Structure 1
Amino acid sequence: MSAATSGAPGTTATTAWVVDRPGPITGGPLRRTEREIPPPGPHQLLVEVAACGVCRTDLHLAEGDLTPRRPQCTPGHEVVGRVLAAGPGATGFTVGDRLGAAWLAGTCGQCRYCRSGRENLCPDSRYTGWDLDGGYAGHLLVDSRYAYRLPEEWPDAEIAPLLCAGIIGYRALQRAQLPPGSRLGVYGFGASAHLTAQLAIARGATVHVLTRSPDAQRLALELGAASAAGSQDPPPEPLDAAILFAPVGELVPVALAALDRGGTLAVAGIHLTDIPRLDYARHLFQERTLCSVTANTREDGRAFLAEAARLRPRVQLTRYPMSRADQALADLAADRITGVAVLTADG
């Protein structure tokens, strides 16, 4: 048996999903395989995976919307696990410690972006599940300098989505420059959005959710949104800020038109379909701002996890065994998941 299924000490193989041939999810771009467990190198930790969130970025990678950066890459960047071994120079963790591995996997530390606290813009940044093998596997390697210590009392499957959906939503909220006690529009209501909305509400914002899914609309209202309507519908009042989570470029002018004077629209996804032509007077004049969100810094991650530990947001969760990662991505592609999907280690 592999280490991914048996957990037996001394085993040298693990099961993993790889993006074999990027293309439509219906064509089966993922393939399950077995490979050797790699030894940890400098600064690295060998981690046994307990849970891994299913992110829309994984779907973009599998379907080829994101160009693969290495062949046969294992997706997954919302990883919760325990340290099995540490390489030379690895610090901050010991064998048996619980940790989280997120999207940002490494930076150069020397460029002007790294030196100015903007490491998310580092030209040499590396990402879990894109540049490096990720968490759709029994084991993975994590740079100890980019790992997060996690509270023991929070269940694996519930905390896993916070490591990308939560952190990116936190950064998107920061980029949206939402004034205290003001009005936020949330376009799309999946993994990241349902966590970010709770964070904004806890900070005193009035949140209006715009999404095409009736199930997501109902969830939004359950979580405290002031209103929930279709993604093309106007909100019931002008917005001070908005975040676009849906990877749909045609919603950019819709969201900009919903902003009040001086409002900001933050686009949170790594991939977006083409944006239609904008009308300057309607969409951008009166100091409306359109900005993107690119990855996150480690400080974003630490700050969000600390805030989330106090808030303990509700995580709307659908579980899949690791052996059904392909089905989880197919369900995500078909909008059959409300909230988040999480892979858990096969028993």
Structure 2
Amino acid sequence: MDAGMDAWVVARPGPIATRPLERARLPVPTPGPGELLVRVEACAVCRTDLHLAEGDLPPRRPRTVPGHEVVGRVTAHGPGAESPPLGARVGVAWLRSTCGRCRYCLRGAENLCPESTYTGWDADGGYAEYVTVPAGFAYLLPDDHAAETLAPLLCAGIIGYRALLRADLPPGGRLGIYGFGASAHLMAQVAIVQGAAVHVMTRSQQARELALELGARSAGGAWDPPPEPLDAAILFAPVGDLVPPALAALDRGGTLAVAGIHLTDIPVLNYERHLFQERTLRSVTANTRADGRAFLELAALHPPRVATTPYPFGAADRALADLAADRVEGAAVLLP
């Protein structure tokens, strides 16, 4: 085992232009009871990492290693952890642990557990050569897929799937997607496979072209009204100003799900225009492991096209800057 490892830490949270990420040399972590030590093969870059680096998401510990879309190989077991075996490929996702005994965990809503912890926020994540994960929160992954295309499934896919469920899209319904990054381009494909008509609203011309390539019925600007009323919508862009137009685009009984962990302030809503006729506004909070397993099974049955922009490990700060400036097509992925 290496004596040390290369990693990136959030040294000074602030605007990405101030370079809040810092390259560091850290000890290889030791897996605790019930944990696995995983050597990282790839780690996708999530907008949550950007929120943490810029301070929108208050750091829970100093000099945290971000990253929670990790593909890697089990290299050691902590006390009491016996599986998956050494060499197994696993995924490390955002949800790291829950108490397992509160009323939320007991009713199957472990994503709402008050004692939940998160990879790359409460514990060091995948912007490193090694990461630890409780064995019960690791996902078994196939060996015959590239790590680069598997990594975005671990958050962009899983959280996006949770958002799609929360949006209550009816069979054959009309889905609006606001923002078209890593998560959105995966969920558009899931919805299309399920028979939905998908309309994409995003400020990026490149993203609009990708949406149409993937089978979207239409792709317009972020503020443009869709060409038909929507049965459901998902807001992936962390822009509260988009909530009113997204609600106004809903048909009677439609639902808007807000997928991000951070959102700028929502403007004042007009009850009759935005909420009346039983329109619903919902948040999305993390995911359950059942969500993760269901999405990964669906992705194995209907493999999505995963658009990625690879970055060498040493360019993690540039990857976050490109994400902030909408210069990434699909998902940015660090390849150590």
Q: TM-score range by the shorter chain?
A: over 0.9
Where 2:251 maps in the other structure, the secondary structure is strand
1:336 maps to 2:327: yes
CA displacement at 1:310 relative to structure 2: 1.1
Specify the alignment match of 1:325 in structure 2. Answer: 316
CA displacement at 1:235 relative to structure 2: 0.4
Are the structure 2 counterparts of residues 116 and 27 from structure 1 closer, same or farther at C-alpha, using a change threshold of 3 Å? same
Specify the alignment match of 1:243 in structure 2. Answer: 234
Structure 2: gaps (5+ residues): none
Where 1:241 maps in the other structure, the secondary structure is strand
Question: Which of 250, 253, 263 is equivalent to 1:262?
Answer: 253
Specify the alignment match of 2:179 in structure 1. Answer: 188
Is the CA contact (8 Å cut-off) linking 1:170 and 1:300 kept in structure 2? yes
Deviates more, 1:91-100 or 1:291-300: 91-100
TM-score (norm 1): 0.96
- Same amino acid, percent of matched pairs: 69
1:30 maps to 2:21: yes
Question: Which of 50, 53, 56 is equivalent to 1:59?
Answer: 50
TM-score (norm 2): 0.99
For 1:289 and 1:41, how far apart are their aligned partners in 2? 43
Structure 1 segments, 4+ long, off by >6 Å, are none
Question: Which of 148, 152, 164 is equivalent to 1:157?
Answer: 148
CA displacement at 1:156 relative to structure 2: 0.2
For 2:101 and 2:128, how far apart are their aligned partners in 1? 32
Query: Any residues of structure 2 matched to 1:287-302 within 5 Å, and which?
Result: 287-302=278-293
Query: Any residues of structure 2 matched to 1:110-149 within 5 Å, and which?
Result: 110-149=101-140
Where 1:208 maps in the other structure, the secondary structure is strand
Is the CA contact (8 Å cut-off) linking 1:91 and 1:145 kept in structure 2? no
Specify the alignment match of 1:7 in structure 2. Answer: none
Question: Which of 262, 265, 272 is equivalent to 1:271?
Answer: 262
Specify the alignment match of 2:61 in structure 1. Answer: 70
Specify the alignment match of 1:179 in structure 2. Answer: 170
Question: Which of 211, 218, 234 is equivalent to 2:209?
Answer: 218
CA displacement at 1:91 relative to structure 2: 4.0
Structure 1: gaps (5+ residues): 1-9
1:225-275 deviation digits (Å, cap 9, x = unpaired): 000001111100000000000000000000000000000000000000000
CA displacement at 1:338 relative to structure 2: 1.4
Specify the alignment match of 1:17 in structure 2. Answer: 8
Partner amino acid, structure 2, of 1:258: A
For 2:36 and 2:238, how far apart are their aligned partners in 1? 34
CA displacement at 1:218 relative to structure 2: 0.3
1:88-142 deviation digits (Å, cap 9, x = unpaired): 1214311111000000000000100000000000000000000010000000111
Question: Which of 214, 223, 239 is equivalent to 1:232?
Answer: 223
CA displacement at 1:324 relative to structure 2: 0.7
For 1:340 and 1:87, how far apart are their aligned partners in 2? 32
Is the CA contact (8 Å cut-off) linking 1:100 and 1:148 kept in structure 2? yes
1:15-54 deviation digits (Å, cap 9, x = unpaired): 1100000000110100011011122110111110000000
CA displacement at 1:208 relative to structure 2: 0.3
Where 1:343 maps in the other structure, the secondary structure is strand
Where 1:217 maps in the other structure, the secondary structure is helix
Specify the alignment match of 1:3 in structure 2. Answer: none
Specify the alignment match of 1:303 in structure 2. Answer: 294
For 1:154 and 1:257, how far apart are their aligned partners in 2? 41
Where 2:240 maps in the other structure, the secondary structure is coil
For 2:12 and 2:78, how far apart are their aligned partners in 1? 32
Is the CA contact (8 Å cut-off) linking 1:255 and 1:265 kept in structure 2? yes
Partner amino acid, structure 2, of 1:59: L
Are the structure 2 counterparts of residues 91 and 115 from structure 1 closer, same or farther at C-alpha, using a change threshold of 3 Å? farther
